[in-house]
Structure 1
């Protein structure tokens, strides 16, 4: 069995998160207006947002860090296709305790876990302290982070991802308070809407669902079907309308 026999991966998604083109355009324009010369993308995936920043900020250079070689290869291909390969680097390495930075603009879009101890639980406070260390004076951080619209019940948690806990996330107010406590002022606070979530969730599974319909008896179909059905159920019956995504534009104090 080769990779060509398996479903393609996330080809319907521009961003690995619930972000519309309209929101991306606004955020890119706002961040590029600060004229960053250096950009650091933590847990960059294929780096679509990083590349759009570089397109909007001529002369800026950027580095994306991730541990997924497939996503990094996709990012390099996108950069070359758009003439940005001389300004964008994609590096396969962990961001935990990284010595990179400080950068004028630090992106951390749904990947704060990359700044946490891999042997410990997710700790958004620690991730925020890491971001504060990585951003240059007068710079900006764009953090996309999950939050609870309301604290879920035990029954709702049981229908989410495996071992979901109440302290996996904070409410939006508590999340912003953590950012302030880490040494930031929240210059922008936005949250993904239901349409953005539905577009993301559908796009996340699209390739696998189409492949399963065409290959019901493939040797990998049973495992793929179980994974996709489990993930779809965790959204529809679990975290839908309970888990949110915040986009925080943070400015370091001092």
Structure 2
């Protein structure tokens, strides 16, 4: 679709926009489905793959996914229709922080804390958790996916990461769980993405682009796409691999 406009394919080799395996996703869905949710909200949903899998597991539930990228939302709508979930899954474009949302039984926020807080890192994590506490119904669940430092990055690793990366950009895992507790949650389940999940995600993130580049290295747009892909791969392999983790916290609102 995008190739017709001289652009490489975008994220076509990924099921989830993050380091999340199908096995872990299935366990998450099973855990959340046991709470018998009637409403699901997905903040920064992308194409809403985990929300759709949860809706498939809970036939009585409806879901609302919110994101800013219309191409991802269109992909989510198409997936919902293909799976017979079109009547129960709504994908809405807009900023989550500025959208009037009703509290839901399950709230998903995977790698999208920035959608709920404009504070500087890592304060935005606490701000997002406070917002999520307001968005979940009593007895419900929040599934919060957030980056954390596996260890303190070196100066060389920080220099290879994203522009302006600092050691203050993330909490460690203990600090992240403490922030969730301070926002009014109890952690039902604490898990983190493994190296295999990260490697599969990072490889899948670039795989479609790499195939596109290999097929015709001189095609229009190839030079820019090659520079972006090479920069991203270098940032991963020389910067945050085995340094940046992804935690998945299943949180229960307390009190």
Same fold (TM over 0.5): yes
Aligned residue runs from structure 1 range 1-254, under 5 A:
3-4=3-4, 5-117=6-118, 120-122=119-121, 123-254=124-255
Secondary structure of 2:210's aligned partner: helix
Alpha-carbon separation, structure 2, partners of 1:153 and 1:3: 39
* Residue 154 of structure 1: how far off its partner (Å): 2.1
Distance in 2, Cα, partners of 1:163 & 1:185:
33
Q: Supply the RMSD in Å over aligned alpha carbons.
A: 1.0
Query: TM-score, normalising length from structure 1?
Result: 0.97
CA deviation digits over 1:139-192, x for unaligned, max 9? 000001000001112221111111111121110000000000000000000010
- What CA distance in whole angstroms lies between the structure 2 residues aligned with 1:163 and 1:32? 40
Mind listing any 5+ residue stretches in structure 1 that lack a counterpart?
A: none
Q: Distance in 1 between matches of 2:216 and 2:188?
A: 49
- 8 Å Cα contact 1:40-1:101 kept in structure 2: no
Superposition deviation, residue 99 in structure 1: 1.6
**1:97 shift after superposition:** 4.0
TM-score normalised per structure 2: 0.96
Deviations 1:49-86 (A, max 9, x none): 00000000111000000000000000000000001010
Large movers: runs of 4+ above 6 Å? none
CA shift, 1:98, in A, is 2.9
